[in-house]
Structure 1
Amino acid sequence: MEKVEKLLLIWVGEKQHARDTVSEAMIWAKAKILHTDLLDQQPETPGPPEEFKVSRVWFEKFKVRSGIHSVVRHGEAANSDLPPAEDFTAEFLHTMSAQGYLPQQVFNCDDTGLFWKRMAKRTYITEEETRLPSHKPMKDCLTLLFCANTTGNLKVTPLLVYQSENPWAFKKHKVDKDLFWRSKSNVWVTCILFVHWVNFVFGPDIKWYVLDKNLPLKALLVMDNVLAHPPGLKEDLLEELIFIKVMFLLPNTTCQLQPMDQQVISNFKNLYTRGLFHMCLEMIDGTSLTLCKF
């Protein structure tokens, strides 16, 4: 059994290197095959052959002994491609050097969905209780497009896409929307919305920034090649924004190269959730509202 587990761990490592999916059922089946092969290689001995029964107890102990664990395979990571990512990196560095871009002049943008009312799936209860009645999850979603430069000292005004242009609560409480707010039924960022954001938010913001910092009037925008980002964006720019150059990430390289995916967006969501829970605590402690009503 010790030999089986050593060979099994090597096999898992090979599959991981090849970026293949390895399920629990596959590990169980491979363990049986390895055990049978090892028995066939041994000289015959009197008595019945050693029997190996794959069980849940064995598998849990094997995970502890070997250190293997289950992870979620995300769509972009599953389709990532290393050689094109290396090619883009070389091209990007060449562009930076040849055209003299400074880190302050290089920008990246990416959008993300935000379930802005979603509560945590887990909660703490007292020792006497064994379960808690479930509640229907809040599925109200909006889309946010984030953009910043490499140094992080210019965070461009985000694009927000929501179902309603002017929600009722905003009218009632006279809320000012201090970001580029647009409405669409499916809350997706479209080409039209993106081009409007570039021309009327991104372009003016970075033009003011580079002039204020006494930098050359040029900027490089790096982004992925999704449908909402038109390949002919250069032709859609206003005349006063022709100093903006666009570079598209190569297909299947986003998860490796997208700067906004390197914990920038995830950190925002963590901060947002922390602020939301802090507000919830203040509200339910200071009023008669329940969390669901709030």
Structure 2
Amino acid sequence: MGPKKMSAKGSAEKKRRMMSMKLKQEIIKKYERGVRVSDLAKEYDRSTSTICTILKQKELLKVITPAKGIKIISKLRTSVHEEMERLLLVWLMEKQLTGETVTKSIICEKAQEIYGDLVEQTPGTSMDETSKESFKASRGWFDNFKKRSGIHSVVRDSEASSAGEKSAKAFIETFAKLVEDEAYIPQQVFNCDETGLFWKKMPRRTYITAEEKSMPGHKPMKDRLTLALCANASGDCKIKPLLVYHSENPRAFKSHKIIKEKLQVMWRANPKAWVTRELFVQWVNLVFGPAVKKYLSENNLPLKALLVLDNAPAHSPNLTEDILYEFNFIKVLYLPPNTTPILQPMDQQVISDFKKLFMKQLFRQCFEITESTNLTLQEFWKEHYNIVTCLKIIDMAWQGTTRRTLNSAWRKLWPEVVSESDFEGFKPEVPVVEEIVSLGKSMGLEVNEEDIDDLIGKHIEELTTEELKELQQQQQHMEVFQEINEEEPEVDQVISTSKIL
């Protein structure tokens, strides 16, 4: 009798060899030092496709700190459990890259939510195997997940909030002493922070949103970009934002003959639409440094500046070493962990107000187009509202962010410099949200203030399970943003571009 044939399933299980996080990071380091993929495959006895898969996820893997002593995932579980943890890790990395604090309870709540969504979205599965009740985000599960994924560097303990308050109080004193010792004035002190923007989302109850969700191939994460906004404490110097999108050359750029160097943002791209350390350093040297130097010179101010940052991974702790010599007048100061929501100026209503202004300008654009042309709102939204139009609206929203707003944002960190007098002849205006609602109703949309607040909250970005799936898919297919068929579709112009833009 000949030898028994191994089943295809058995063969696949035998060939599947788990790799530790440490080993993956070792491969990434060697690749970045110039070792070829084929040589890495031979050295580690893996296929080139396996090595490529690791390299595709290198930005995500590089920020993970492996738990000591944990080599591989050894316990077999259902595919729903595995998918939930993969999506949860994407969510965690997103939180870390934006500098947000996550605790055990927040992670467990998100894990339960993702698992429940996956159960509902998985047809034909056994209820005994995948019912919501079959998974509890317990302490045991959490401890094992930390070991499997190595997320120790991401998670804050349950006392993070109280620790953050103490750290914030101490930092305010440190900051005050530094400002006094170095004689900084508000014009010389800057803050920068990143935020995600779902630029093509309408409030959840509008018919455009409902129609989009039913459209074949609708990919919500492709409507996402990341912005880095920066201004000084006096509020009179706004720096050109860094914008990161999933596509280097969207089709709309070609059809509108856009020259990226002339945009009102520094345009960069990667499949995750994330601000990475490399991109942030580029922005500091190509945009921030020259703009601050010019501003200080034109205002006859001493050539020195302080840039206050949170400890997001994109903000390298060695950033000063990467700044060009001609900008060595820039000093970098980092907020302590867990203090970002308490102290960071851009988080003190600036980003939220910017997004409200963005929505107001977007609604106004929709209203003016539908009033002045023969386009319906749906036609404008589907056929004419593209990333080029979005960039113009971003610029209007950023230019519309007032000195009063930017200066007031320093009230917690540097209260002495916040002016109580009105800027720019400030007069009370109709709240922005009310304006958005009024414009929406003028276009026949079912929308109220709660819908707008909810949408602004989404912009601040709590990713849904579907959005996490899309983001994971983009991470696994890094070449997708370069392919023409994945770009924004080119459409026939019903009316002239000048009437739209």
Settle same-fold status: TM greater than 0.5. Answer: yes
C-alpha separation between the residues in 2 aligned to 1:169 and 1:153? 33
One-letter amino acid of the counterpart of residue 103, structure 1: P
Conserved 8 A contact 2:366-2:377: no
Letter in 2 for 1:219: A
Mind listing any 5+ residue stretches in structure 2 that lack a counterpart?
1-104, 106-154, 384-501
What letter corresponds to residue 368 of structure 2 in structure 1? E
Q: Which residue of 2 aligns with 1:277?
A: 363
Residue 110 of structure 1 is matched in structure 2 by: 193
Amino acid at match of 1:258: Q
Q: Secondary structure at the match of 2:336?
A: coil
- Which residue is 1:167 aligned to? 250
Matches within 5 A, 1:79-90: 79-80=160-161, 81-90=164-173
List runs of 5+ in structure 1 lacking aligned partners.
1-20, 22-74, 125-131
1:165 Cα deviation after fit: 1.6
Residue of 224, 231, 238 corresponding to 1:155:
238
Shift of 1:133: 5.7
Q: Tell me by how many angstroms 1:170 deviates.
A: 1.6
Deviations 1:97-129 (A, max 9, x none): 0010011000000000000000011349xxxxx
* Equivalence for 1:293: 382
1:98 equivalent in structure 2 = 181
CA distance, structure 1, for counterparts of residue 205 and residue 227 of structure 2: 26
Q: Distance in 1 between matches of 2:354 and 2:339?
A: 23
Q: CA deviation at 1:239?
A: 0.6
The correspondence for 1:188, drawn from 247, 263, 274, is: 274
Q: CA RMSD in A?
A: 2.4
The structure with the largest alpha-carbon Rg is 1
Contact kept, 8 Å, 2:247 with 2:269, in 1: the verdict is: yes
Cα deviation for residue 225 of structure 1 reads: 0.6
Higher percent of residues as helix: 2
Give 1:134 shift: 5.5
TM, length-normalised to structure 1: 0.68
Give, as a single letter, the amino acid of the residue that structure 2 aligns with 1:220.
Answer: L
Q: Secondary structure at the match of 1:110?
A: strand
Distance in 2 between residues matched to 1:179 and 1:259, nearest whole Å? 21
Across the two proteins, how many residue pairs are aligned to each other?
215
- How far has the Cα of 1:171 moved from its partner? 1.3
The equivalent of 1:40 in structure 2 is none
**How far apart are the structure 2 equivalents of 1:226 and 1:178?**
25
State the SS of the aligned residue for 1:207: helix
The amino acid across from 1:156 in the alignment is I
Structure 1 ranges of 4+ moved more than 6 A: none
Give the distance between the partners of 1:182 and 1:103, measured in 2 at CA.
Answer: 30
Indicate which of 302, 306, 314 corresponds to 1:228: 314
The 1-side partners of 2:375 and 2:166 are apart by 58
TM-score, normalising length from structure 2? 0.41
**Take 2:293 and 2:382, find their aligned partners in 1: how far apart are those partners?**
45
- Percent identical pairs in the alignment equals 52
Three-state SS of the structure 2 residue aligned to 1:293 is helix
